[in-house]
Structure formats: structure tokens, C-alpha cells
Chains A and B, each alone.
Chain A
Amino acid sequence: MDALILQILNGLDKGAAYALIALGLTLVFGTLGVVNFAHGALFMLGAFCAVTMQKLLTLSTRVRDESITFFEAYKEVPYLESWLGDTGRIIIDYSVPLSILLTIPVMLLVGVVMERGLIRHFYKRSHAEQILVTFGLAIVLQEIIKAIFGANPVPVPAPPAVAGSASIGEWFGLGPAISYPWWRLVYLGFSLVILAAVFAFLQLTTFGMTVRAGMRDRETVGLLGIDIEKRFIIVFALAAIVAGLAGAMYAPILAPNYHLGMDFLVISFVVVVVGGMGSLGGAVAAGFLLGILQSFASMTEVKSILPGIDQIIIYLVAVVILLVRPRGLMGRSGIMET
């Protein structure tokens, strides 16, 4: 029972990341009709925003380390620490939450530049060409990050206040065996807030209504005199910001490296396909579903019956869903079917 609860939490956590990436992916697909293989790279860029923030806050001066005598060793003392003392140290500790302030403008810029500079030229081209160009773009972004930050993962710590684990078992009277890392709970909560905000934006604002109308029938919306293309730039930037935030907050869970995006991209595409191409609710539901299934498949009880199932479960589910419901869980007709 305890194991089940923990695996559900693990699944929700993974699922939250999948859902946030898949949400942007399906939003871009539904509105712009573009299959964006560079979307995983946006998640990776977000994670490196957290790394950059940490590096900026810990810009250091080199001080001779007297405790090492047999060669000239230097230790790095961050400027913030030498200027502000304890306050400086606290600011450094909170670099990941603070990185949100950096991530939003950076991803907004990246999104707009990407859409205006490259993607819009491919709106009317075939899906194959869109995939090729966005995949190429993903590789370019990846190599840029590799050139700047190197090939190794860069560990980014969570703030010390939420670095340990929470005894959630005791909160609900289930005994002390169930505890879960605080930061993962923070991530789950953060993801739910972002998801809710995106849905509220699309459902409750006039802008959102126009975008949804555009997703349904672009031509008619255009005939009504609305410049849907302009709104779509904002949609693209929004998707980039969501992916970026998902990445930045994920950094303490998984030390970011340059191919983080590719690792998540494939799974996110499966999530979109399982959820139904162009369906926002489907993407979110499928994200959480696949996250939880992946966690369950890693349980030793399951692995002892089906060895290696944890590696293929996602694809197995995708195959079954596509056989039973070819349009995915919540797919609408007419998308990618013409």
C-alpha cells in the first residue's frame, strides 16, 4: 500500500513534467499546425536558465585556500556572499525559484524569435519538412548549450528549506513509512498551478476564446477580420514559457545536461499522441497517466514478472491506445487526417 502511494506520487511528478511539455506541444500543433521537434529543447533551455541563474548568483572571486599547502589552491567565494554575508547566502540558496524571473523573459524572447525567424516560414509546408527543420533546430540549440556549459550534467540544489523529505504519511495518518522529497511536492504543486493558469487563460479570456476558435476553424476566424497569426505568436511564446518553467523547476530533481530535451521529447510526443493530437485536456491526462504507469512498471513486483517492462511500458500503452482509439484518448476528427 505504502509502495503504491509512493509510486503514484512519483508518477504524478513525472507526469507533471510530461504534461507541461506536452501541453505546449499540442497547443502549438493545434493552433499553428506545426509539429515542433524543438519543443524538448525549450524544456532543456529552461533548465539551463536555472543553471545560469545559479552561476550568475555565485559569480565568485578567487581566494587563496590556505588549508592546502603543497600547491597553490584557490577557493571561490561568491561576490554576493562577500558583499551581503548571510543574506547573500540565502539568495544563492534560492537560485532555482529566483530563476523563474529569468526564465520567463528569456523563453518569451526565444519563443518569439523562433516563431518569427524560422517556424512561420514553414506553416504551409508539409509535416515532414516541419519535423526536419525543427529537429535540426533542436540539435543546434543542444550544441550551443554544450559549447557554453559543457557535456556534463550541472547539479543545481533545491533551497535547503525544501531539500529534505516530507513525512506525508504522518499528515494523513498512514504511518511514518511514507515520506516524499519536498522539492518534488513543490514541483507537483507548481505544475498544477501552471496548468490551471494556462487553462484559465484559454477558457476565460477573450484572447483564449479567439485562439480556441482559431484551433477549430482558422479560416472562419480569419474571415471575421481577426488577425489570428498575431495571436499565434503569443501562443507559441506561451508554449515556450510553459516548457521553460517546467525545465527550470525540474533542475534540482535531475541535474540538467545538454540532451535533457531529447530525453523528454520522445516521451512527450507519445503523450500527445496518446492524449489525442491537438487536445489540451488529453495531453494533460495522458501525461499523468503515462507517468504513473511508468512508475508502476518499475516496481520490483511487476519487473519480476515482466523484466524490462519499465523501459517499454510507455510505447506499449501507446500501441494499445492507437489500436483501440486511433485518435487518442480525447482526439478530435480532422487533425492530421487530411
Chain B
Amino acid sequence: MSTNDRTSLSRRSLLKASAAGASVLAAPHFFIKGAYAAEYCNMPTGDTVTLGFNVPQTGPYADEGLDELKAFQLAVKHLNGEGDGGALNTFKPSNLKGNGILGKKVAYVSGDTQTKSDAARASAKRMIEKDGALMISGGSSSGVAVAVQSLCQETGVIFMAGLTHSNDTTGKDKRRYGFRHFFNAYMSGQALGPILAQEYGKDRKAYHLTADYTWGWTQEESIKDATEKLGWETVQTVRTPLGAGDFSQYLTPVLNSGADVLILNHYGSDMVNSLRQAVQFGMREKQVNGKDFQIVVPLYSELMAMGAGEAVKGILGTANWNWQLDNDGTKAFAKSFGQEYGQPPSQAAQTCYAQTILYANACETAGEFTPPAVIKALEGFEFEGLGNGKTLYRAEDHQCFKPVLVVKGKENPSNQFDILEVVEVVPTEQVTYDPSIFGGELGPYEVQGC
């Protein structure tokens, strides 16, 4: 009897013990998390530091994504003291030593955002949780950037946005852990508006075709505001699904709308398709209201322009940067990139390169990897020598302020990469705005972490 009792007791205690053991094993995710919050996410312990590069490798923005990845790889090389150092030689004020970041060698992992917000979040989550990425960068879509940025805020990982042009990224969806070097739609409107009025006159009727997501909406709004202030009339704005392919049914109504300017708020392969098709429809030879019909592409990309071939010649737009700019930072970076990959870098590549360098420099300045210290080192940081001239990382919204380029498809290119010419470098003052106009809150420095 007593033996039986003992046996049943020991079985019960075994069960209890294993239940307790299981709950202890399961606990770290739910209960113990808070205890380590002060340690921050993925602080490097060994002799390497891992950065996560999350770019579209498939989908409508894949061309940009692959170019971004090349730039990231080059930045890692330069940070580790390999290669010719590129724009590290011209960047100032710099605390970089060419021996990695804070003496730790830089390694990286990459992921495919597929140009989809959910896939991008999943990919960033994997890099943070599985690969131990200390910082996430990349993106070629504002929808993706906004989604990943909010994930990074939750997990306490700094997000250095790649190519994202929506006002929302550093406007209503801005985050303490998110930083953007690239310019935005509002700046494009402010820079492009006066040039449009100067080239095409103040009495124009515009028709917008807009990619139906955050970037398209804010660009449409910004360009509409800027052109209407100059006296233009907006005849119609039409939303088109991302990746629509054949835009013919959206293009034909333009011809009969009375509009004499078509504004294409498209990017990547959407842009290539809609612009080529607009040209096939003979829009560039048309006369409407006694004026030559014009097409405007507010956000230009060299990669897109190469895909669109002849169609881009003479078409106005804006860009964050161009490899043919005449400054030391541009020359150093374009040379280094050209030698490495046999082609000049795109503006997507330049912004990603700059973001990686800026992050590394902020860690060196802070002397530590803890995100709040790195964030404070980036906020209000003024620098030059990365290709855009004097640039400020504004503390209030984590947006970079620098001159904006108005560009035009070159009529007589001197080589296969000579696609855009810079019409005007619009000074920073003209594109600077009050951070409060877009609303949004940066949020706290201290978050619960991953």
C-alpha cells in the first residue's frame, strides 16, 4: 500500500516537475522578456555585428532592390576597410575608423520583401529574431517601409529606410526608431512645381494616374497642391492597381479629358509599362488646347528610365541624387560602385549606401550600440560628402534635408548610362517644411524590445 502510494506520488511529482519544466522553457518569450529589456535587441556579443538588408528581389520594384543590395554590400566592404573606401574618404564629420563598427567586423543578412508589406515584415522579423540583425535597412516601396518601420519600433531595432518617397514615412507614420535619408513627395512637388510652370506655362490642365497605395496617394496630393498653387487645374485623378501591367484602359480616357499634361505617379515596372504605353498611344505628339501634350514623371529612377528606353527623352521629374553630379562624395561613390559592378549606381543605391554609413558613424559617435544612444547621435546630425551636399537629419521627424534635383530624360545620351540630365539643383530652403504639417508622433526611445 505504502509502496503503491509512493509510486503514485512519485509519478505525480514527475508530472508536476515536467509541467513546471515545460513552463520554465516556454517562459522566456512571455514572462522573462521584461527582465532583459534594458539589454536591447540583438546587442552584439562576439566580434561581428550583423546588419539586415531587406530589399525587393521580386515584384514591380525588384530592379531597384537588387541595386540597393549591391550598394549595401559595397558599404559593408568599405566599413570593414576593404576596397577603395568610396565615399568614406569624403564623408565628414566622420568617426569611422575603417575597422568595422566599434571594432567589430560588419556582417550582413538579406531578405526579399517581394514589394509586399506582409512579406517584408515577415522577412524583417526573421532577420531580427533568427539572424540577430542589429539594424534593418532597405525597402523600395513606402508601403513596405511604413510596415517594417513600425515593426522595428516595437522590437527596438533601428530602421534606416532605403528608397521610400511617401510623405507618411517621416510624416504621420514616423517612428523614433525609423530614419529616412531619401527625399519625399512633398519635396518633389516643391522642387518640380516652379520648373513645370516655367517650362509649360501656368495655364495647364493635369490628369493624374496614381499607384493605389500610400506613396502614390501622397505624391498625387503633393504634386496636385504644388501645381494648383501655380495656376494649374487638375482635371482628374485616377488610381491604378500596383502591378496593373496593361494601362491602356486608364490611358485612353486621358486623351479625351481635355487635359494637356499627364502626371504618372508610378514607379518601377509600373512606370516602365505606363510610360511606354502612353508614348505608344501617341501622347507625346498630341496637341491639346493649342499646346503640346506633356508627360511628367514626378519621381524618376535611372533604372526605370533604362527600361523605358526612348520614351523618357525630354520628360521632367525629380530625383534624390544622380551619379553625374559634380561633387567629391558623388565621384568617390560612383567610381567605387562602377569599378565593383561595371555600372553607375542608381539613386536607390546611393541612399542605401549613405544610410549604412550614417548608421555606422552614429554608433561610433555614441560609442555604443544601444539604440537610444545611436538614435540621439543621428538626430540633428549635420554632414556632407555622401553626394548630396550639406545634409541635416532633422531631429523632429528623422527626415534628411538636402537639395533636390529636377531632372529630364536626356535627348542625346553620350553613353548607355547617360539617361538623365540635371535641370536644376533646388536648394534645401525651398523644399524645407514645418514637421507639424503631416502630424504623427515619433514615440519613445525606450521600448520593450524583442
Contacts and interface: CB of A to CB of B under 8 A. Distances in A.
Given A10-B252, A153-B272, A311 B415 contact: no
B236 A300 contact: yes
A231 B338 CA distance: 58
A110 to B, nearest CB: 23
Nearest to A181: B280
A72 B276 CA distance: 31
B281 interface: yes
B338 A68 contact: yes
A6 B280 contact: no
A28 B213 CA distance: 40
B280 A254 contact: no
Interface of A: 2-3, 6-7, 9-10, 13-14, 65, 67-68, 70-75, 151-153, 155, 157-158, 163-165, 167, 177, 179-181, 183-184, 253-255, 257, 260, 263, 294-295, 298-300, 303, 310-311
A303 B269 CA distance: 25
**A-B pairs with lowest CB-CB distance, top 6:** A71-B338, A165-B282, A298-B249, A151-B58, A181-B280, A6-B252
B7 interface: no
B101 interface: no
A2 B255 contact: yes
A74 B338 CA distance: 11
A72 B342 contact: yes
Query: Size class of B's contact patch?
Result: 35 or more
Contacts, number: 119
A295 B249 contact: yes
B292 to A, nearest CB: 14
Contact of A75 (B255, B281, B338, B416): B416
A303 B415 CA distance: 44
Nearest to B340: A71
A303 B248 contact: no
Interface in B16-43: none
Contacts of B280: 158, 163-165, 181, 183-184
A254 B417 CA distance: 24
B252 A151 contact: no
A75 B335 contact: no
15 contacts: A7-B252, A10-B252, A68-B338, A68-B344, A71-B338, A73-B342, A73-B343, A151-B57, A153-B273, A253-B248, A255-B307, A257-B269, A298-B249, A299-B249, A300-B236
A13 B249 CA distance: 11
A155 B307 contact: yes
Interface string B39-81: 0000000000000000001110011000000000000000000
B256 A3 contact: yes
Contacts of B255: 2-3, 6, 177, 179
Interface in B339-353: 339, 342-344
B334 A155 contact: no
Contacts of B59: 151
A9 B249 CA distance: 10
Given A6-B252, A71-B335, A65 B257 contact: no
A64 to B, nearest CB: 11
Contact of A300 (B238, B276, B285): B238
Contacts of A177: 255-256
Nearest to B112: A151
B112 to A, nearest CB: 9
B118 interface: no
Given A184-B248, A310-B249, A6 B282 contact: no
B248 A10 contact: yes
- Identify the interface centre among B241, B246, B344: most chain A CB within 10 Å of its CB: B246
B298 to A, nearest CB: 21
Contacts of A68: 338, 344, 415, 417
B309 interface: yes
Contacts of B63: 152
Given A7-B253, A65-B416, 12 more contacts: A6-B255, A14-B246, A14-B248, A68-B415, A71-B334, A73-B343, A75-B416, A157-B309, A177-B256, A181-B277, A184-B280, A253-B246
A67 to B, nearest CB: 4
A65 B282 CA distance: 33
Contacts of A151: 57-59, 62
A201 B322 CA distance: 57
Interface string B294-317: 000000000000011100000000
A70 B335 contact: yes
Contacts of A180: 281
Contacts of A253: 246, 248, 277
A73 B415 contact: yes
Contacts of B443: none
Interface in B207-265: 236, 238, 241, 245-246, 248-250, 252-253, 255-257
Given A10-B252, A164-B280, A165-B281, A73 B273 contact: no
A179 B335 CA distance: 46
B309 A300 contact: no
B400 to A, nearest CB: 26
Contacts of A14: 246, 248-249
B331 interface: yes
B236 to A, nearest CB: 6
Given A151-B59, A300-B238, A303-B238, A71 B342 contact: yes
Interface string B95-127: 000000000000000000000000000000000
Contacts of A164: 280, 282, 285
A294 B249 contact: yes
A72 B336 CA distance: 11
A73 B246 contact: no
B4 interface: no
A128 to B, nearest CB: 29
A42 B344 CA distance: 37
B414 interface: yes
Nearest to B252: A6
